Homo-oligomer: A and B are copies of this chain.
């Protein structure tokens, strides 16, 4: 069979990895796919000189639209990132009847609904395994491997930078800012780390996972996002003393009154497998009603791990070229005519147990006041510990674990505690999830 012709947009980190993997493993990939997958065209302003020998015979230009409009190209691989011109390029490729493979999580989370609708109308596939958790085939697991299940919840460590920072804070007993600087020096964190440490990148990925799990349209704007910047090394140590570990989780859960979509730091029992996923590694824990908990672990970013997912998508698309478009795996796991309009729950309705850290003066009656406020809001305390004050601090840290409570009640209780004269500074609240597995 003749080779399939791929047009590659972008020759940066992931683009370079894709060129490398397709070249090095060409024979292996062709033995699997049944035909050669060949990059025939590429668009890039510049690329690393070491790619030069691998790009022999590839027609390279700096106009991505020229590649998208080239009738010789059958599959477009979009590795430019961002919204513009990525969206226009993808829509033009679809309009031209080309299949698309992309690693662009932001694009899919924000514009996936219109992209998939256009692809559906034109009978082409848009594959995006590389958009979530890099090389881990989690999208395939959710869309195909677990197709028998009603998914109950998904909880994932889906940002490597954040997980590296939290792991270092625990291992070295160091503060967030210090570890962040180190991560930037090592290249694990961007110069502008906002997308990672504020949870926006994780929220893009969670939006996608939530849609695949529950058959709902992509709704990034309704995803709750909280970063890890306020976590202190004391919180990390206190959690450990209580038998928990703090991870930055993306959680999608189906409840009786809607779907929860939330990204925030989370205490999870230390004995859970996912609590032991360290450094830049990613993992996604999925609970299905038939299969129970399953976990998928691997590198969530990086040149070749991400390329692994891009190329797997190329193999998939190659295999489905001749498939009746109505019998392909649906973009969002469920047939587009059968997506559900389940509401996304506002955060105030979400129920979780909580870890609270309160700084209070060492006076009689303080504990009673705080406990009283919690009690009046129907919040039961599971554990309470008084910690040593930090050097030069007058107030004592009180650490509490509460039972499950609606976010709305906890918000009110926290506001009242913060208003107490004997309490200094803000209350630190970290949600707690028992998970399973």
Interface residues of A (CB under 8 A from B): 17, 21-22, 24-25, 28-29, 31-34, 129, 134-137, 140-141, 143-150, 215, 273, 276-277, 281, 283, 288-299, 304-305, 307-312, 314-316, 318-324, 326-330, 333-335, 338, 437
B308 A319 Cβ-Cβ under 8 A? no
Q: Which residues of B contact A293 (CB under 8 A)?
A: 298-299
Contacts A/B (CB < 8 Å), 6 sampled: A34-B326, A135-B288, A137-B140, A273-B273, A291-B304, A294-B296
Query: How many whole Å from A324's CB to the nearest CB in chain B?
Result: 4
Query: How many whole Å from A164's CB to the nearest CB in chain B?
Result: 15
Bound-state CA distance A327–B288 (Å) is 30
Apart from A147-B311, A291-B299, what are 9 other A-B pairs with CB-CB below 8 Å? Answer: A24-B289, A31-B215, A134-B291, A137-B140, A148-B311, A273-B277, A294-B297, A294-B299, A320-B327
B335 A25 Cβ-Cβ under 8 A? no
Q: Which residues of B contact A143 (CB under 8 A)?
A: 32
Bound-state CA distance A398–B320 (Å) is 59
Q: What 7 pairs between A and B have smallest CB-CB spacing?
A: A137-B145, A148-B311, A294-B298, A135-B291, A291-B308, A295-B297, A31-B338
Interchain CB contact (< 8 A) of A146 among B144, B147, B308: B308
A32 B330 Cβ-Cβ under 8 A? yes
Q: Which residues of B contact A17 (CB under 8 A)?
A: 290
A144 B140 Cβ-Cβ under 8 A? yes
Query: How many whole Å from A297's CB to the nearest CB in chain B?
Result: 4
B327 A322 Cβ-Cβ under 8 A? yes
Bound-state CA distance A144–B309 (Å) is 10
Bound-state CA distance A314–B148 (Å) is 9
A145-B137, A147-B312 known; A322-B319 Cβ under 8 A: no
Q: Which residues of B contact A22 (CB under 8 A)?
A: 148
B329 A319 Cβ-Cβ under 8 A? yes
Q: Which residues of B contact A320 (CB under 8 A)?
A: 323, 327
B291 A298 Cβ-Cβ under 8 A? yes
A136 B294 Cβ-Cβ under 8 A? yes
Query: How many whole Å from A186's CB to the nearest CB in chain B?
Result: 17
B144 A316 Cβ-Cβ under 8 A? yes
A21-B148, A144-B312, A147-B29 known; A327-B34 Cβ under 8 A: yes
Query: How many whole Å from A283's CB to the nearest CB in chain B?
Result: 8
Interchain CB contact (< 8 A) of A145 among B140, B288, B290: B140
A290-B21, A328-B319 known; A137-B141 Cβ under 8 A: yes
Task: With CB as the reference atom, state the residue of chain B lying closest to A141.
Answer: B137
B321 A327 Cβ-Cβ under 8 A? yes
Task: With CB as the reference atom, state the residue of chain B lying closest to A299.
Answer: B292
A21-B148, A324-B322 known; A292-B135 Cβ under 8 A: yes
A137 B148 Cβ-Cβ under 8 A? no
| Centre residue among A22, A149, A299 by max chain B CB count within 10 A | A149
Query: How many whole Å from A216's CB to the nearest CB in chain B?
Result: 12
Interchain CB contact (< 8 A) of A148 among B146, B215, B294, B315: B315
A28-B150, A319-B328, A321-B327 known; A297-B297 Cβ under 8 A: yes
